[in-house]
């Protein structure tokens, strides 16, 4: 794809934005981890509850499992499913798979059987490493390896050469159509993510919280960020998150860095802000940031600690970052900032680069761009070659839209699928959520559409109220002074909490089903 008719001034602006080159090792996860295990043998690598492993002990256990995997035919490029909850066993399984040069494919044990079979078939897994409690959930026509049966300590690292271009894992996204897509992530993408990071201090003293589902791409940062830099990965071992348990894990482990979905971040700010106080760097993202909640977090904790993060799975977890230092009274949206190290950013509209203030599709390049999709989705045209400023670059067309500020920061303007047409009007759902969040009687909100009779669509807003004044009529009256009538949801429902997906995003289908609208 050739970019044309862009002004020299605009091209120069993108040159400046994309000065992100930083040195990173051109090797695989295997080599980096083994180097840390040799260098930091007695340092604590992973903690879960009252259990912990040093780098040496983790390396020995991973070698033991890797030896068995190699014995059953697992080698470079082989697909290995993992069906294990967040735990030390999960970390052992992922490190062992990397040591074989194999590709791990995380499964969620709560997935329905049909989905598990589809993921296994699409990724062509050769074996499944499982926790003992999930043996009955794994596909029975593949080799199953119970991790508890292979707790052997083996000194010698596998003699396997893993290239930077080789695949590290396949992450299955939920997909906007409901059909999951397997994203092929290279070792280089992971190494680029966690080396010389601009968005957080990752080093031997870092203590990083692993709270995401293993099937969510944020787990890449949470696990490999500390382990490939000599730090400590602290696993939140319970399946469901309790604020009291989370506060204790943060306090006891001395967490220095945590990534939290926007939905969870908002809930913590409202219900348990003390959790954030001891953490040096708090990364949040996954959905558009709530200005109200970021303002409250800054007021309670001070600046220099909060970073808004953006990135699709297809670009290896994180792509842009924005350290939040102030939220002025007139600010309506928190920027998502600039590219992280070894990442490039473009905004395109009609084949041209967009200048400041012009909305275009967010296009991302650099070492984090995935190797494409597996299965039927492999024919997608979202991975392309882009010709900008005299060179060719592999990029990912995100389907997200944004614009640049005059300072060169990226502002998220929504997704194609966030813009809906209701009664002939084109509406941005996020614009309604923003106004709802300005209401003093509303803690949090979520806006979507529901299909009525004869294909008719209606707006529906779900709110968590801060007091009894937040009635449907009061909310509509509040919105009437801020939005045109066609943007005011006719259905406004209250909730005690928002159900979340494994990714930490709000579960739209569950909300609608609870309300009898799904």
Q: Mean pLDDT across the stretch 147-162?
A: 95
Res. 243: pLDDT tops 50: yes
> What does the longest C-alpha to C-alpha distance in the chain come to?
70
Enclosing H/E stretch for 322: strand 320-324
Q: Are 346 and 388 in contact (CB under 8 A)?
A: yes
Residue reference for tokens 């760097």: 281
485 in a structural domain: yes
Sheet holding 457-465, edge to edge: 442-451, 457-465, 491-494
Q: Mean pLDDT across the stretch 349-371?
A: 95
Question: What pLDDT band is residue 177 in, cutting at 50, 70 and 90?
Answer: very low
Token pair for residue 393? Answer: 């670059």
Characterize the bridge pairing of strands 127-130 and 79-83: parallel
Give the Å distances, CA to CA, from 274 to 247, 266, 483.
8, 13, 35
Characterize the bridge pairing of strands 306-310 and 281-285: parallel
Q: What is the pLDDT of residue 167?
A: 98
Q: Is the dihedral of CA 186, 190, 192, 198 positive or negative?
A: positive
* Closest alpha carbon to 233 in 44, 74, 406, 388: 44
Q: How far apart are CA 45 and CA 225, in angstroms?
A: 11
Token pair for residue 229? Answer: 């830099």
41 in a structural domain: no
Q: How far apart are CA 276 and CA 169, in angstroms?
A: 31
Q: Are 106 and 185 in contact (CB under 8 A)?
A: no
Q: Mean pLDDT across the stretch 379-396?
A: 87
**Which residues make beta-bridge pairs with 455?**
none
Res. 141: pLDDT tops 80: no
**DSSP at 220:** H
206 in a structural domain: no
503 in a structural domain: yes
For 248-292, what is each residue's pLDDT tens digit? 999 999 999 999 999 899 999 999 999 999 899 999 998 888 898
For 283-333, what is each residue's pLDDT tens digit? 999 888 889 899 999 988 877 899 999 999 999 999 999 999 888 877 888
Question: What pLDDT band is residue 411 in, cutting at 50, 70 and 90?
Answer: very high
Q: Mean pLDDT across the stretch 504-508?
A: 81
* Domain range for 473: 423-514
Computed over every residue of the chain, the mean pLDDT equals: 90
3-state secondary structure 101-139: CCEEEECCCCCCHHHHHHHHHHHCCCEEEECHHHHHHCC
Q: How far apart are CA 160 and CA 76, in angstroms?
A: 8
- H helices within 211-356, ranges in order? 218-227, 243-253, 262-271, 291-301
Question: What pLDDT band is residue 1 in, cutting at 50, 70 and 90?
Answer: low
Domain count, the chain: 1
Q: Report the length, in residues, of the chain.
A: 518
Q: Mean pLDDT across the stretch 42-51?
A: 97
Q: Mean pLDDT across the stretch 150-171?
A: 96
Characterize the bridge pairing of strands 360-366 and 391-404: antiparallel
351 contacts: CB under 8 Å, gap ≥ 6: 1, 2, 3, 4, 5
* Closest alpha carbon to 149 in 37, 85, 64: 64
Q: What is the pLDDT of residue 420?
A: 67
Give the lowest-confidence range in 340-349, 354-363, 403-412, 440-449. Answer: 440-449
Res. 416: pLDDT tops 70: no
Q: Is 47 exposed, middle or buried (0-12, 13-18, 19+ CB in 10 A)?
A: buried
Q: Please give the distance of CA 426 from its chain centroid, rounded to a whole number.
A: 29
> Where residue 431 sits, what CATH number does that domain have?
3.30.300.30
For 70-107, what is each residue's pLDDT tens digit? 999 999 999 999 999 999 999 999 999 999 999 999 99
More confident residue, 433 or 416: 433
486 in a structural domain: yes
Res. 425: pLDDT tops 90: no
213 contacts: CB under 8 Å, gap ≥ 6: 86, 108, 219, 502, 503, 504
Total-model pTM: 0.87
383 in a structural domain: no
Q: Are 91 and 111 in contact (CB under 8 A)?
A: no
* Closest alpha carbon to 463 in 486, 488, 419, 433: 433
Q: What is the pLDDT of residue 175?
A: 46
Indicate the angle between helix axes 88-99 and 218-227, nearest 10 degrees: 80
Res. 216: pLDDT tops 50: yes
**DSSP at 343:** E
Res. 176: pLDDT tops 60: no
470 in a structural domain: yes
432 in a structural domain: yes
């Amino acid at each position: 794809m050739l970019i044309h008719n862009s002004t020299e001034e605009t091209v120069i602006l993108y040159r400046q934005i994309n000065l992100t080159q930083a040195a990173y090792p051109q090797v695989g996860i295997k080599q980096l981890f083994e180097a840390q295990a040799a260098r930091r043998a007695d340092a604590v690598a992973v903690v879960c509850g009252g259990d912990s492993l040093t780098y040496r002990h983790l390396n020995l256990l991973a070698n033991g499992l890797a030896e068995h995997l190699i014995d059953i035919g697992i080698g470079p490029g082989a697909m290995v499913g993992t069906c294990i909850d967040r735990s030390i066993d999960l970390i052992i399984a992922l490190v062992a798979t990397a040591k074989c040069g194999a590709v791990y494919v995380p499964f969620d044990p709560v997935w329905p059987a049909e989905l598990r079979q589809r993921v296994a078939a699409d990724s062509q897994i050769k074996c499944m490493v499982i926790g003992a409690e999930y043996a009955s959930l794994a596909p029975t026509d593949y080799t199953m390896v119970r991790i508890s049966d292979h707790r052997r300590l083996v000194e010698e690292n596998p003699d396997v050469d893993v290239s930077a271009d080789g695949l590290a894992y396949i992450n299955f996204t939920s997909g906007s159509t409901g059909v999951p897509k397997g994203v092929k992530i290279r070792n280089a993408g992971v190494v680029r993510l966690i080396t010389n990071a601009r968005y957080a201090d990752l080093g031997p003293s870092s203590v990083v919280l692993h709270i995401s589902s293993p099937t969510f791409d944020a787990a890449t940062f949470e696990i490999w960020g500390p382990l490939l830099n000599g730090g400590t990965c602290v696993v939140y071992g319970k399946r469901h998150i309790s604020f009291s348990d989370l506060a204790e894990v943060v306090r006891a482990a001395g967490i220095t860095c945590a990534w939290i979905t926007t939905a969870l971040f908002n809930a913590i700010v409202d219900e348990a802000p003390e959790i954030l106080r001891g953490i040096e760097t708090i990364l949040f993202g996954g959905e558009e940031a709530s200005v109200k909640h970021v303002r409250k977090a800054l007021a309670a904790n001070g600046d220099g600690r909060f970073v808004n993060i953006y990135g699709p799975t297809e670009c290896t977890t994180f792509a842009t970052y924005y350290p939040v230092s102030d939220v002025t009274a007139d600010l309506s949206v928190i920027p998502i900032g600039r590219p992280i190290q070894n990442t490039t950013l473009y905004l395109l509209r009609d084949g041209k680069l967009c200048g400041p203030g012009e909305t275009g599709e967010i296009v991302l390049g650099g070492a984090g761009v995935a190797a494409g999709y597996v299965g039927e989705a492999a024919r997608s045209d979202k991975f392309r070659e882009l010709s900008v400023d005299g060179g060719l670059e592999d990029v990912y067309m995100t389907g997200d839209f944004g614009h640049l500020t005059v300072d060169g920061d990226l502002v998220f303007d929504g997704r194609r699928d966030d813009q809906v047409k209701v009664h002939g009007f084109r509406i941005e759902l996020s614009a309604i959520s923003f106004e709802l969040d300005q209401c003093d009687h509303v803690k949090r909100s979520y806006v979507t559409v529901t299909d009525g009779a004869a294909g008719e669509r209606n707006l529906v807003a779900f709110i968590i109220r801060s007091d009894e004044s937040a009635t449907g009529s009061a909310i509509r009256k509040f919105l009437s002074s801020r939005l045109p009538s066609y943007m005011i949801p006719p259905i406004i429902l209250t909730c005690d909490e928002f159900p979340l997906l494994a990714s930490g995003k709000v579960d739209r289908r569950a909300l609608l089903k609870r309300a009898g609208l799904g």
